[in-house]
Copies of this chain bind each other. A is one copy, B any other.
């Protein structure tokens, strides 16, 4: 679709989203769930349509010479479509966070003061490639009582439009405003520029994609952005670690999947356990084809490591590469993580109570773990039901962002005629 005046098109999208957000904020739980179920049904029913639309995107991507990994992310399968529908049903099954009242208690003046959880309003989502984000994001925003403006990648425009049709059908089935979830109908990049600066119409932007995209958006946005930057995650094996747990966790954190943001990129090992555990771990990693880059001490223990440079400590490989550093103690491990890490997810393996307690408190990351794998940092694993992203920001929401992160809390005050003296 070609739209000649992007600014006025986006203004109109924003205006409609704002109006819809007011209705969504007061929508009943049953109606929101009804819409989610109807969306899931439409997606399952339209499987063939969605596959056909997706094929058009893929054909165009191949013509345009997109790289294989990108096309892989773009591709929808029958199973992928079924998963999308299932995801919407799971969101329907989650408790409605909107209107939840907490902490309501009496003050000396006689008024009761508490907080009520409320939607944020209008959420702009900017994402690349994966068309399933269209359904996931629509479902989460809707359940949290928000309106959403979705801006998918231009390479997925046909797939996203087909999914958007199912989403609209679901909204209609529940008599909710169709403009509650709008998928932008142009691939013009100027639309993004408008979206992230429409302060009157958009309350928060959630970009999903590579670091480059997110930094660009954060720099140009006038609307608050929930950012998901690097995942430079660490596992620190203490000398008081249980040997078997340490091996299992360090293996899983690196090799269960290489390309995810919660994959370990640097392994820190206490000097007193390094000689014993590094040969065992190195064999596991090398057998799986992981390139090891160690500091001098590590390389003295395992000869088959390449040297790690200063840059390695701050690098998110997203690949079968692992940097390894030997540290003298817990303090040095925490210092390393807070200095080189990206405040995403970091774990300690130790049986020492005091060190576990200190690690939990002193590591400044969105997820801090004891005796388990960084790979657990995930909305589903945390029980959020789903996630719209993982925040590496410090205000509003840290870590996996689910329904709660798409809401805020206002104060409510109940009185009986009290006035201020």
Distance, CA A158 to CA B244, complexed state (A): 62
With A382-B113, A417-B249 in contact, is A399–B410 under 8 Å at CB? yes
Task: Flag if A418 contacts B365 (CB, 8 Å).
Answer: no
A190 CB to nearest B CB, Å: 21
Distance, CA A376 to CA B108, complexed state (A): 12
Distance, CA A73 to CA B160, complexed state (A): 56
Contacts of A370 in B (CB 8 A): 412-415
Stretch at the interface among A74-82, A167-175, A305-313, A390-398: A390-398
Distance, CA A393 to CA B226, complexed state (A): 14
With A26-B362, A109-B376 in contact, is A410–B382 under 8 Å at CB? no
16 more A-B residue pairs beyond the given contacts A118-B364, A368-B410, A395-B395, with a C-beta to C-beta distance below 8 A? A25-B361, A116-B361, A121-B364, A204-B394, A224-B393, A226-B395, A248-B417, A252-B419, A256-B419, A367-B410, A371-B417, A373-B419, A377-B413, A381-B420, A395-B396, A400-B411
Interface CB pairs A-B, < 8 A, 10: A113-B381, A118-B364, A120-B394, A252-B420, A369-B413, A370-B414, A371-B417, A372-B415, A372-B419, A394-B408
Distance, CA A244 to CA B416, complexed state (A): 11
Contacts of A372 in B (CB 8 A): 111, 413-419
Distance, CA A121 to CA B395, complexed state (A): 10
Quick check: is A222 within 8 A (CB to CB) of the other chain?
Answer: yes
Residue of B nearest to A357 (CB): B99
Distance, CA A109 to CA B242, complexed state (A): 20
Contacts of A107 in B (CB 8 A): 381-383
Instruction: Please pick, from B111, B256, B376, the residue contacting A413 in the complex, using a CB distance under 8 A.
Output: B376
Distance, CA A411 to CA B222, complexed state (A): 28
Contacts of A249 in B (CB 8 A): 417, 419
Distance, CA A9 to CA B241, complexed state (A): 44
Residue of B nearest to A242 (CB): B417
